[in-house]
Amino acid sequence: DAGITQSPRHKVTETGTPVTLRCHQTENHRYMYWYRQDPGHGLRLIHYSYGVKDTDKGEVSDGYSVSRSKTEDFLLTLESATSSQTSVYFCAISSSTSGSGYNEQFFGPGTRLTVL
């Protein structure tokens, strides 16, 4: 999984509680991403980071916040979890050093989150 770890791998929580998911990389890549995967929707970008303290919103950012204080760590926080945020969350990393000229993204193993 391209030097990416996600923690926790599984989590069950109650509606209204805050939840933080962690993505850790050992590749020293500049870009990091958070996606959610739901049946019938493929993967949808939540937020991404293009450097320490530099982040941007994705397609489905409402209800989520992110932070990146170190190159290797990208945190996703659900301030007040809702049942609609039950999903599998994937972190990805990329760099601009690929031969294609584009930031080829490599995904972590995922975190399965259930909000009751």
Partner 1 sequence: QQQVKQSPQSLIVQKGGISIINCAYENTAFDYFPWYQQFPGKGPALLIAIRPDVSEKKEGRFTISFNKSAKQFSLHIMDSQPGDSATYFCAASVDGYGNKLVFGAGTILRVKS
Question: By the criterion CB under 8 A, which residues form the site for partner 1?
Answer: 1, 4, 31, 33, 40-45, 48, 50, 58-59, 90, 92, 94, 96, 100-110
Distance CA 35, CA 48 (A): 9
Nearer to partner 1, 13 or 37 (CB): 37
Least distance in Å: CB of 19 to partner 1? 20
Contact call for residues 55 and 69 (beta carbons, < 8 A): no
Longest dimension (CA), the chain: 45
Nearer to partner 1, 83 or 101 (CB): 101
Q: Both tokens of residue 60?
A: 């489905």
Contact call for residues 22 and 75 (beta carbons, < 8 A): yes
Nearer to partner 1, 16 or 109 (CB): 109
Least distance in Å: CB of 72 to partner 1? 18
Least distance in Å: CB of 61 to partner 1? 12
First to last CA, the chain: 29
